Amino acid sequence: MATWGFGLRAKSMLALLLACLFALIPAGLVGWQVLDAVREHFGTAYLRNFTLLKRQQILAPVSRELTLSLRLADSQVTRQWLLDEHDAAKRSLFFAEAEGYRRDFRSQTFFIIPASTGNYYFGDGQRQSDVPSYQLQRDKKSDAWFFNTLHQPGSYDINVNYDENLKLTQIWFNAIIRDGDKVLGLTGGSLDLTTFIERFIVTPEVGLTPMIVAQNGAIQAHRDIRLIATNQITHSALGALPPEQTLSGQLDHASDRELLATALRNAEEKTDEVVIIPVHLAGKPQLMALAYIPELRWHIVTAMDLKAARILDQTWARSGLILLVMLLATLLLAFSYAVERLLLRPLKKLQQSATAIARGDYDTPLPTASRDEMGDLSQAFGSMAQQIRDHTTELENKVAARTQALAEANQEMQRAHRQISDSIDYASLIQRTILPQQQLRQTLDERHCVLWQPRDVVGGDFYIFRQDGERYLLGVVDCAGHGVPGALMTMLARAALDHAINTCGLDQPAAILQETDRGMRAMLQECELPRAIATNLDAGLVFVDLKRSMLRFAGAKINLYWSDGNEIGQLDANRRSIGDRRPGTYTDQDIALRPDVTYTLSTDGFLDQAGGERGYGFGNSRFAELLRSNARRPMGEHASAFSQALALYQGTYPQRDDITVLSFRFDQKQAQHDPH
């Protein structure tokens, strides 16, 4: 019931909601465009008024400082002293007058630089102003502003500069001192840049970025002081100035920079107007207003982000949105009630009947049929319920019959499985009886260890041991295949090896392998086996003569490893298996038997076992290191050491092949007292 009711109700509400959205989206888009137009209209008006207000706010205090600087430069006392800088009386008279100007300047500072000497006099009420603070040099890049200003046609220049000698960053009012056509030097006052920016540039208005730009486009004031261009005069070219310290460098597009150049010229021509242009600044579309102050040769620039600026009162928009949401909610509630009354209640009753039928109660009553689509649905459902009842009865009869047949087949399969398992277990018992485990334990005792680990219950690996007094024959054999096929191959291989040993004797391992190869071929030549079935085998045989202290080895793809705990070595076997397509030639290798050396034979199941992080085989290098590290341990501990190392490397990977490892060590003194 809950699933049907919730699903239909949700779908009905979604349908109504989509219908409302389809109607509201076009209206919303049109309304949004109208809102953008209104925002842009009022934003442009606000931006124009804001820029004009900033121009007036800046013009008054800056004009005052500039006027004082020009009056000081035009003073007769100033000219008389600069015409004779070394006259003590004129010097004293000038600095007395300059002290009065200093007190009138907002920053309480003044400077004067004679053009003839380049001496920089600076007064701030604390240091001695009539003594040069330092001397400007024509070849010094940081002093270029001074010599460039002396040659400009106007009577003053305003620039922002960091004086590295005074450790001050100021807005400097550079008034040119002239005597007729002769330039005598510069003088004037200054404003603290930080205070100026906090008062006139930094604004709490969101989305507005005021700034001051010189005639050449260099930024003179900005709330980000890293963007301010210093050591620039208003008439000079931008030169090597970083782009980010110019107004054009702040713009994103070349077309905006061309539009800006035109706007700057228009603002200088129409000083009583504000020029507004659209630009892309800081990755956003913005409006930029420019107003020119000819008295200062500055452009007052304001950038506005219309989306961020608070231009319109959003209260009415929020009220309209709330009203729209309430209207939509009312429509949804009314529609939900109609759906519940006309559709969901009849469906709920029909769903209850369907639930009862699903439980097997086919006699449950159906809702009263009405004269509409719901009545037709109820009648169709009743007909379907009757058909389900008939089909269910028929299917139950068929299922009962099939279940009985499957139960009988399952019992038969279980009996067959038990017979196969019993046969394989018996085969495993038989295979273990042919292994010389008891003989090795009685004869060699703690001088040997064996790790025999078939992949399945039975396998294709086995090991051999024969004794004749103080002469021994030991070996391991790896027959092709696993499981039952491999186990059957071990029977043939064991018979062929026994015949070869009896024929050749214990002391001829190579001859034994050669005779085994002939015997295997003779036994299999009458059988027409498919090419896909492998009948070859690998073997490694070692003959030990304790009296002569010698060891003789011959192998078919199984090497003999030896280690004394320090060194590791091996005797290589012939590279052709017994029973291979072409017969192999096997040779004996004789070495001295060393009591401190452990000798090992291993089938390839140990070396090829997958493991580690990438599933690679155990490998010869890792196997050799395992033999070397365990060579001096008691032989009784070798099998567990091999098993632990293999299990640790193998991890969760399955065993690939049958594994057989046979290790032995002969202590000569122990052998002489061997009761066997």
**Per-residue confidence at 312, pLDDT binned at 50, 70, 90?**
low
- Encode pLDDT of 490-549 as tens digits: 888 999 999 999 999 999 999 999 999 999 988 887 666 556 567 899 999 999 999 999
- In terms of domains, do 485 and 597 share one? yes
Domain presence at residue 593: yes
Please give the structure tokens belonging to residue 196.
Answer: 């100026």
Kindly tell me if the per-residue pLDDT of 564 is higher than 80. yes
Confidence of residue 561 (pLDDT cuts 50, 70, 90): very high
Contact 367, 385 (CB under 8 A): no
Q: Over pLDDT 90: what percentage of the chain?
A: 34
Q: In the predicted model, what is the mean pLDDT of residues 197-204? A: 80
Residues 145 and 92 in one domain: yes
> C-alpha angle with apex 340: 336 to 343, nearest 5 degrees?
120
565: left (phi over 0), alpha (psi -120 to 50) or beta: left
Token output for 203:
């604004």
Q: Residue 676: what pLDDT?
A: 44
Range in 22-36, 134-148, 441-455, 589-603 the model is least confident about: 22-36
The pair of three-digit structure tokens given for residue 649, joined into one six-digit string? 């490397």
Query: In 3D, which of 556, 606, 590, 598 has the Cα closest to residue 444?
Result: 598
User: Is residue 74 in a domain?
Assistant: yes
> Whole-prediction pTM value?
0.44
Give 646 or 26, the one with higher predicted confidence. 646
Tokens (6 digits) for 401: 């019959």
pLDDT score for 671: 46
What is the pLDDT of the chain when averaged over all its residues?
A: 83
pLDDT-derived band at 67 (thresholds 50, 70, 90) equals: very high
CA 657 – CA 101 distance, rounded (Å): 105
Beta strands 598-602 and 610-611 are unpaired
| CATH number of the CATH domain containing 457 | 3.60.40.10
Two structure tokens written together for 58: 């800046």
How are beta strands 275-281 and 182-188 bridged, if at all? unpaired
Kindly state whether residue 412 falls inside one of the protein's structural domains.
Answer: no
- Provide the CB-side half-sphere exposure for 397 (13 A, CA): 5
Most confident listed range (12-16, 82-86, 386-390, 463-467)? 463-467
Residue 234: pLDDT over 60: no
Q: Which of 24-33, 34-43, 540-549, 577-586 has the highest mean pLDDT?
A: 540-549
Residue 280 to residue 283: CA distance in whole angstroms: 6
> Does 410 fall in a domain?
no
Of the chain, the percentage scoring pLDDT greater than 70 comes to 84
At residue 176 the predicted structure's pLDDT band, cuts being 50, 70 and 90, is very high
Q: How far apart are CA 642 and CA 632, in angstroms?
A: 14
Confidence of residue 180 (pLDDT cuts 50, 70, 90): confident
- Is residue 599 within 8 Å of residue 665, measured between CB atoms? yes
User: How many residues are listed for the chain in this entry?
Assistant: 676
pLDDT at 531: 62
The upper half-sphere exposure of residue 454, i.e. CA atoms within 13 Å in the direction of its Cβ, equals 25
pLDDT value, residue 4: 44
Note whether 287 and 365 are same-domain residues: no
* Amino acid occupying residue 619: G
For residue 321, being part of any structural domain is answered with no
pLDDT of the residue at 70? 92
| pLDDT surpasses 90 at 617 | yes
Q: Same structural domain for residues 524 and 641? A: yes
User: At 561, is the secondary structure helix, strand, or coil?
Assistant: strand
218 within 8 A of 232, measured Cβ to Cβ: yes
User: How distant is the alpha carbon of residue 161 from its chain centre?
Assistant: 47
Say if residues 211 and 219 touch (Cβ distance below 8 Å).
yes
Better pLDDT: 356 or 113: 113
Give residue-wise pLDDT tens across range 215-229: 888 888 888 888 887
Give the number of domains in the chain.
3
pLDDT digits (tens, 9 = 90+) for 141-171: 888 888 888 888 888 888 887 777 877 778 8
Mean pLDDT (whole number) for 44-72: 86
Q: Which residue has the higher pLDDT, 537 or 31?
A: 537
For 282-311, what is each residue's pLDDT tens digit? 888 988 888 888 877 888 898 888 777 666
- Phi, psi torsion values for 365, nearest 5 degrees: -75, 145
pLDDT in tens, 321-352: 677 777 777 876 777 777 776 667 777 777 77
What does the pLDDT look like over 463-484, one tens digit per residue?
999 999 999 999 999 998 777 8
Are 364 and 469 members of one domain?
A: no
Is residue 16 in a domain? yes
Contacts 24+ apart (CB under 8 A), 217-221: 217/246, 217/247, 217/248, 217/264, 218/245, 218/246, 219/245, 219/246, 219/247, 219/250, 220/158, 220/159, 220/160, 220/171, 220/298, 221/160, 221/171, 221/193, 221/196, 221/197
Residue type, 278: P
Domain boundary (258, 282, 312) is at: 312
pLDDT band at 3 (very low <50, low <70, confident <90, very high): very low
Residue ending a domain, choose from 312, 341, 369 = 312
Lowest mean pLDDT: which of 86-95, 273-282, 315-324? Answer: 315-324
Question: Does any domain span residue 618?
Answer: yes
Pairing of strands 219-221, 156-163: unpaired
In this structure, the answer to whether residues 491 and 564 fall within a common structural domain is yes
Q: Are residues 465 and 509 both part of a single domain?
A: yes
What distance in Å separates the CA atoms of residue 206 and residue 304, rounded to the nearest whole number? 9
Same domain, 458 and 515: yes
Residues 225 and 277 in one domain: yes
* Per-residue pLDDT tens digits for 415-437: 877 877 766 777 677 778 789 98
> Is residue 320 included in any domain, yes or no?
no
Question: At which residue do the structure tokens 């009711």 appear?
Answer: 5
State the residue range of the domain holding 109: 1-312
- Whether residues 561 and 653 fall in one domain: yes
CATH number of the domain residue 220 falls in: 3.30.450.20
Q: Average pLDDT of 563-579?
A: 94
Distance CA 545, CA 506 (A): 10
For residue 329, the Cα-to-chain-centroid distance in whole angstroms is 45
388 shares its domain with 438: no
CB atoms under 10 Å from CB of 545, counted, come to: 18
| 375 shares its domain with 511 | no
Mean pLDDT of 259-280: 87
Q: What's the confidence (pLDDT) of residue 647?
A: 94
Which one of 278, 294, 312 terminates a domain? Answer: 312
Name residue 452's beta-bridge partners. Answer: 660
Apex 126 CA angle, 63 and 68, nearest 5:
15
